[in-house]
Amino acid sequence: MQDLSSRKEIVILVFITVAIIFLIRLFYIQVIDDSYKLSAENNVMRYVTEYPARGLIYDRTGKVMVYNQPAYDLMVIPRHVKKLDTIDFCNLIDITKAEFIEKLIAAKKYSYYKPSIFQEQLNSETYAALQEKMYKFDGFLVYNRSLRKYPYNAAASLLGYINEVSGKIIEKDSYYSSGDYIGASGIEKSYEKQLRGKKGVKVFMVDVFNRVKSSFRDGIYDTLPESGTNLNSTIDIELQQLGEKLMQNKKGSLVAIEPSTGEILAMVTSPSYDPNLLVGRVRSENYVKLQKDTLVPLFNRALMAQYPPGSIFKIVQALIAMQEKAITPQTMFTCNKRLINCHNHPFPLDVFGSIQHSCNPYYYMVFKRILNPGKSPNVFIDTEMGFATWREHIGNFGLGERLGVDILSEKGGNIPTIEYYDKIYGRRHWKFETVYSLGIGQGEILVVPLQMANLAAIFANRGYYITPHIIRNKNKSEGDNIHYTKIEKKYFDLVADAMAKVVENGTARRAQIDSITVCGKTGTAENPHGEDHSVFIAFAPRYNPKIAVSVYVENSGFGGTWAAPIASLIIEKYLTRELKNQRKLDRILEADFIHNAIRTN
């Protein structure tokens, strides 16, 4: 009996203990912890997103290139929309009655009770006019937003634009929701996470009709938005504007780099467009027009166009040949036009003279010596060995691959491989005579304008480059981004001297600037679809260079005629902040290779 009595007491004790635990938990939930209450109250609360100010973008001198302008999204809650003066409402926000009906139907499909965008990005004037009559339009409310504004009609492809997020982006990134905006190209896209900031939230109490009554608990659960990070770019906006002006009515590109830092001073693609065209409610309409434009202004030629380098490639060949002891600086070849076509100039020439006069047969022979080093009695094996050495050097110049610039869409150009030729001709069934055109920058070789400007920077630095970039990052060591060639400095010094002679008394006389020694190399890139492309790279001054430039002008002929003087004006502007040769400037501004086939000398 005592055992049963004892068990009974234990069972009663267990039930009492459990009851006490439940009572304590119930007291905690109802009196102390209000999280369940909040959950229940969610049905009568409205969460309103507070959008942060997007980060500003400055040029290297502190000028604002992109800022924010207030805009407003008109929202609608279909359940609350009552009879209203539709004509008056439509006139206020500049839509038709048919559009009003269409938008309201779309909002009802989304939700009868939740707010959705009715008309996005109203400007300040429309918002002010609407606010005066807002009391007449039940069911409509306004959320504050901002639009990007560009004070300079320049650098559109570089800066990029923002647009509304797609469903795929929303699925991938929980930060975004329907109606949000995201960087779609250029700096806006590459630095989206820094620029976008962090959203805030305001919580309101609403009644059974979903009308706002008050802030929930005096805003205790509200969070403030955090503005995006302002970005300091490396761009000189005055230089950018000049570059775009010089490239008007021309297809092509211009890139300028500070050799000692890798900072991009200007990146011009032409034709371009006004960045303000892709802002606000007109963005979609204008984007379609730009897409259909046969001049493809949305195509960033500085990063994406791929061209043969032409004769500019000769200075790279000279360096490789001297480094590999295939030639010496004193090696002379005659200008044998039976080997390959060339223009008239003095001969025979050494390395210095071959660069000054851009002799094709000279580099035919130079490339032959590189590809046939005499390491094997079998000419095919010998060519393969020489080609492998040559291609390794070319890669060290940042060619044939992306440089890693900090904006997206960069192309890597093309440097053919042994595997490529094996596939076409069969393994060890090709030799120098098969690929000789590579020696003068033709054949399968393709480069992008950014790579050519970077090549000029390598010559300016006498053998190395720093990864080109557009946004300054104070927390990142530049030492991590230095890339060295395997060419001795003495050979760069020789080539730099020859490049100075090219401008002083060679193929690029039009690039001369008073009191400034410009070192450059012209090129005429063959174009099977029409007139050849005018190409020029340069750096200045000769010692302690401050700027390196590449210019491509499509379908304009010889490199010294158009690309060289354009580059010289950019160099002069950057180094002196003024332009003295008005005649040279006027000649460039008057040239039109889009509407007129100008071929004057």
Alpha carbon 444 to chain centroid, angstroms: 26
**Confidence check: pLDDT of 477 > 60:** no
Instruction: Give pLDDT, residue 600.
Output: 43
232 vs 406: CA distance, rounded Å: 13
**Confidence check: pLDDT of 275 > 80:** yes
Instruction: Give pLDDT, residue 599.
Output: 45
Instruction: Give pLDDT, residue 282.
Output: 83
Element (H, E) at 567: helix 563-576
> How confident is the model over 202-226, as a mean pLDDT?
74
Residue 291 placed within a domain: no
Between 139 and 429, whose confidence is greater?
Answer: 429
Residue 126 placed within a domain: yes
Residue reference for tokens 């020696």: 439
Instruction: Give pLDDT, residue 598.
Output: 43
Same domain? 482 vs 510: yes
Sheet hosting strand 200-206, strand order edge to edge:
45-50, 200-206, 212-215
The one-letter code for the residue type at 22 is F
Domain boundary among 213, 232, 251: 232
Give the bridge partners for 162, in sequence order.
Answer: 183
Find out whether 229 and 222 touch, Cβ atoms under 8 Å: no
pLDDT category of residue 462 using cuts at 50, 70 and 90: very high
Find out whether 517 and 500 touch, Cβ atoms under 8 Å: yes
Q: Is 13 exposed, middle or buried (0-12, 13-18, 19+ CB in 10 A)?
A: exposed
Task: Report how many domains make up the chain.
Answer: 2
179 vs 194: CA distance, rounded Å: 20
Residue-by-residue DSSP string for 1-60:
-HHHHHHHHHHHHHHHHHHHHHHHHHHIIIII--HHHHHHHGGGEEEEEEPPPPPPEE-T
Domain boundary among 207, 232, 257: 232
Residue 17 placed within a domain: no
> How confident is the model over 471-475, as a mean pLDDT?
71
Same domain? 412 vs 330: yes
Same domain? 82 vs 189: yes
Same domain? 203 vs 308: no
Same domain? 228 vs 320: no
Same domain? 133 vs 225: yes
Domain with 54 in it: 45-232
CATH number of the structural domain spanning residue 414? 3.40.710.10
Residue 297 placed within a domain: no
Residue 355 placed within a domain: yes
Same domain? 426 vs 559: yes
Residue reference for tokens 């691959």: 401
Nearest one of 235, 50, 211, 236 to 143, comparing CA atoms: 50
3-state secondary structure 269-302: EECCCCHHHHCHHHHHHHHHHHHHCCCCCCCCHH
pLDDT category of residue 546 using cuts at 50, 70 and 90: very high
Share of the chain above pLDDT 90, in %: 59
Same domain? 470 vs 506: yes
Residue 395 placed within a domain: yes
Residue 106 placed within a domain: yes
CATH number of the structural domain spanning residue 137? 3.90.1310.10
